[in-house]
Amino acid sequence: MNWIKHYIGGEFIESPKTLKNINPATKQLLGEIHQAGETEVNMAIEAAEQAFPFWSQLSFEQRSSYLNKMAHEIEKRLDDFAAAETKDTGKPISTSFSVDIPRSIKNLRFYANSLNYHKEAFYNSPDQAYNLTLSEPLGIVACISPWNLPLYLFTWKIAPALITGNTVIAKPSEMTPITAFMLSEICQKINLPPGVLNILHGKGDQIGKYLNTHPQIRAISFTGSTRVGKQIAKEASSNLTKVALEMGGKNATVIFNDCDIERACKEAVRAAFSNQGQICLCGSRILIQDEIYDKAIKIIVKETKKLKPGNPLEEKTNFGSLVSEAHFEKILDFLNYAKEKKYKILTGGEEIQVENCDGYFIPPTLIEDVPMECKLNQEEIFGPVATISSFTDDEDALNSINNSSYGLSCSLWSNNHQRNLKLAEAIETGMIWFNTWMHRDLRTTFGGLKNSGFNKEGLEDSFKFFTRTKNICFKY
Ligand code: NAD
């Protein structure tokens, strides 16, 4: 049994109420999570406030050394972290081991070294004056993260917040708290100064109602659903607290006649179903140009069938369980709707039993010929369900890509880069890939448009978000 306690002021703190933490692949009880509320938020604010003067005045190199130590300690326990994440999320251990936990380490190391990439603004004005922009930490900031890539997204927020000299109150998802708790053990082990990073556990609304409106919180960096993001923005506006929102997506993978069809189709399947379709960037709408439609469908269905739900702890498993019972029920509702509407299900479509795992498994599902206005093409399902439709020409493709309230990402599969660039200018998403998917360079901007995001992440965006600036002008 794991007891997930808060980490406040360098100490592990309990609360009177707890929640159950369930392994979604087996329905077994993993442990109990302490539920933070007003008392714990206030304790965390006090600890973060006390730590701020010391932490903000450390040199960049000193703060950097703590981030590097965190990364080093996670790396030493890579196996433990991967196994813990797999039990918490139901994702295949191969994913945790080779993607999620290494990327968490990389996030910490990247920001530990980020001064190498960061640029300060300096202008030599024509009228014999220098202008210099000074960036300062904000104070206490909140970092709120979701369950789908628990430590990966958690570290992506706390690392820039800490390196820029802020003290942090972080809130991992109550669905997947274990790796954040393990990180708090590491913070204690490496003697991170108390109060620099405080981690609160439990249901978001119970914590959010005190955190989002607290006047001492200077910024909230949130990744999660559009519904909760909008609520946070509304509540935070009462104090003009800065918000960065990374939210949902309904992304298109667009396969043109002239692409490398085999490669495009394989990547379309990876884009649709990685992490059981539970990645904000997943390409859940596959659009195929009509000339190659039949051929592409065959490859896509064949590749999809290679993904077989299995015991997430077995190394050979390439497809895991959904994250929770509630999420599983939500996906089944979408599938029932597709059946009621008599849409053609090419593969998947029903829950599935996995040997020795009594959990929440649905195989990757492809649904054909769903109208673009249908909720299966408009709402974020965030699970192993993708639609497939055809298009005639560039204009038809563009209309479908942009026919969404979301605007996170899009991938175009075509060797005609002139066309790709022309389309990219008209596509309403924050990220556009040509002949690739989910390719990330941490120096570049990241985030969505429309209902997918507000204030981006990425090196310069995060430095800007987590600091306040002053302009100093001096005449010579
Ligand atoms: P969610 O919005 O339910 O929860 C996200 C976090 O917010 C959790 O830690 C939760 O406890 C907390 N929370 C809930 N209510 C809150 C409140 N009132 N105040 C403060 N915090 C609150 O999202 P989820 O179900 O955990 O994650 C799935 C969603 O995240 C999907 O919509 C997915 O697209 C999105 N996501 C987006 C990105 C991105 O970068 N754009 C990345 C990953 C996931």
Say yes or no: 131 and 269 in one domain.
no
CA–CA separation, 268 and 283 (whole Å): 7
Taking the centre of ligand 1 as the mean of its atom positions, its distance from the CA of residue 453, in whole angstroms, is: 12
What angle is formed at CA 69 by the lines to CA 221 and CA 46, rounded to 5 degrees? 45
CATH of the domain at 410: 3.40.309.10
Of 174, 149, 137, 146, nearest to 63 by C-alpha is: 137
DSSP 3-state of 465: helix
Is 380 among the domain residues?
Answer: yes
Instruction: State the average pLDDT over residues 193-203.
Output: 98
What is the residue type of 122? F
List the residue whose alpha carbon is closest to atom 9 of ligand 1.
Answer: 173
Taking the centre of ligand 1 as the mean of its atom positions, its distance from the CA of residue 6, in whole angstroms, is: 19
Taking the centre of ligand 1 as the mean of its atom positions, its distance from the CA of residue 232, in whole angstroms, is: 11
The CB of 246 under 6 Å from ligand 1? The reply is yes
> What is the 8-class DSSP label of residue 471?
E
Q: Could you list the residue range(s) of the whole structural domain that residue 66 is in?
A: 2-247+452-475
Strand-pair category, 365-368 with 344-347? antiparallel
Is 376 among the domain residues?
Answer: yes
Say yes or no: 222 and 267 in one domain.
no
| Residue 327 C-alpha from the chain's centroid | 17
What are residue 132's DSSP bridge partners?
A: 122, 472
Is 43 among the domain residues?
Answer: yes
Q: Is the pLDDT of residue 1 over 90?
A: no
CA–CA separation, 111 and 433 (whole Å): 24
List the residue whose alpha carbon is closest to atom 30 of ligand 1.
Answer: 224
Say yes or no: 200 and 310 in one domain.
no
Token pair belonging to 4: 């997930």
Say yes or no: 217 and 275 in one domain.
no
**Cβ-contact 170, 143 below 8 angstroms:** yes
Of 199, 197, 56, nearest to 138 by C-alpha is: 56
List the residue whose alpha carbon is closest to atom 34 of ligand 1.
Answer: 248
The catalytic residue among 40, 235, 246, 303 is 246
Is 77 among the domain residues?
Answer: yes
Cβ neighbors of 352 (< 8 A, separation 6 or more) are 309, 361, 362, 363
The catalytic residue among 280, 282, 357, 410 is 280
- Which residue has 């702890």 as its token pair? 313
Token pair belonging to 248: 């949902």
CA–CA separation, 439 and 430 (whole Å): 14
3-class SS letters over 35-56: CCCHHHHHHHHHHHHHHHHHHH
The CB of 234 under 6 Å from ligand 1? The reply is no
Burial of 287 (0-12, 13-18, 19+ CB in 10 A): buried
The total of structural domains in the chain comes to: 2
pLDDT tier for residue 372 given thresholds of 50, 70 and 90: very high
Taking the centre of ligand 1 as the mean of its atom positions, its distance from the CA of residue 84, in whole angstroms, is: 20
Is 168 among the domain residues?
Answer: yes
Say yes or no: 239 and 258 in one domain.
no
> What is the 8-class DSSP label of residue 420?
H
Say yes or no: 406 and 347 in one domain.
yes
Say yes or no: 458 and 379 in one domain.
no
| Residue 293 C-alpha from the chain's centroid | 32
User: Which letter, b or e, does each residue of 394-423 get, where b requires 16 or more Cβ atoms within 10 Å of its Cβ?
Assistant: beebbebbeebebbbbbbbbbebeeebeeb
Token pair belonging to 23: 């392994």
280 catalytic residue (yes or no):
yes
pLDDT > 90: percent of the chain: 96
Say yes or no: 427 and 457 in one domain.
no
Q: Which of 144, 245, 404, 455 for mutating ligand 1's site (highest number of atoms within 8 Å of CB)? A: 144
Say yes or no: 171 and 256 in one domain.
no
Is 94 among the domain residues?
Answer: yes
What is the DSSP track for 173-194? -TTS-HHHHHHHHHHHHTTPPT
Of 237, 196, 244, nearest to 7 by C-alpha is: 196
Q: Which of 223, 278, 379, 410 for mutating ligand 1's site (highest number of atoms within 8 Å of CB)? A: 223
Taking the centre of ligand 1 as the mean of its atom positions, its distance from the CA of residue 296, in whole angstroms, is: 34
Token pair belonging to 343: 């849409």
Taking the centre of ligand 1 as the mean of its atom positions, its distance from the CA of residue 312, in whole angstroms, is: 23
List the residue whose alpha carbon is closest to atom 39 of ligand 1.
Answer: 246
Q: Which of 33, 148, 385 for mutating ligand 1's site (highest number of atoms within 8 Å of CB)? A: 148
Of the candidate ranges 79-93, 159-173, 241-255, 453-467, the one whose mean pLDDT is the lowest: 453-467
Tens digit of pLDDT for each residue in 18-70?
999 999 999 999 999 999 999 999 999 999 999 999 999 999 999 999 999 99
The CB of 383 under 6 Å from ligand 1? The reply is no
Q: What's the chain's average pLDDT?
A: 97
Say yes or no: 256 and 236 in one domain.
no
CA–CA separation, 130 and 122 (whole Å): 7
Q: Which of 200, 220, 280 for mutating ligand 1's site (highest number of atoms within 8 Å of CB)? A: 280
Say yes or no: 231 and 279 in one domain.
no
Run of H or E including 18: strand 18-22
355 catalytic residue (yes or no):
no
CA torsion 433-439-440-446 (nearest 10°) is 30
Taking the centre of ligand 1 as the mean of its atom positions, its distance from the CA of residue 147, in whole angstroms, is: 7
Q: Is the pLDDT of residue 290 over 80?
A: yes
> Residue 363 has what pLDDT?
98
Is 447 among the domain residues?
Answer: no
CA–CA separation, 420 and 403 (whole Å): 18
The CB of 245 under 6 Å from ligand 1? The reply is no
CA–CA separation, 359 and 86 (whole Å): 13
> What is the 8-class DSSP label of residue 116?
G
Tens digit of pLDDT for each residue in 301-329?
999 999 999 999 999 999 999 999 999 99
Taking the centre of ligand 1 as the mean of its atom positions, its distance from the CA of residue 380, in whole angstroms, is: 13
The CB of 232 under 6 Å from ligand 1? The reply is yes
Q: How many residues belong to the chain?
A: 476
| Residue 161 C-alpha from the chain's centroid | 16
Tens digit of pLDDT for each residue in 112-170?
999 887 778 889 998 899 999 999 999 999 999 999 999 999 999 999 999 999 999 99
Q: Is the pLDDT of residue 353 over 80?
A: yes
Report the atom number in ligand 1 closest to the C-alpha of 171.
9
User: Around 448, how many Cα atoms within 13 Å sit in the side-chain half-sphere?
Assistant: 27
CATH of the domain at 70: 3.40.605.10
Say yes or no: 291 and 207 in one domain.
no
Sheet holding 129-137, edge to edge: 122-125, 129-137, 467-475
pLDDT tier for residue 384 given thresholds of 50, 70 and 90: very high
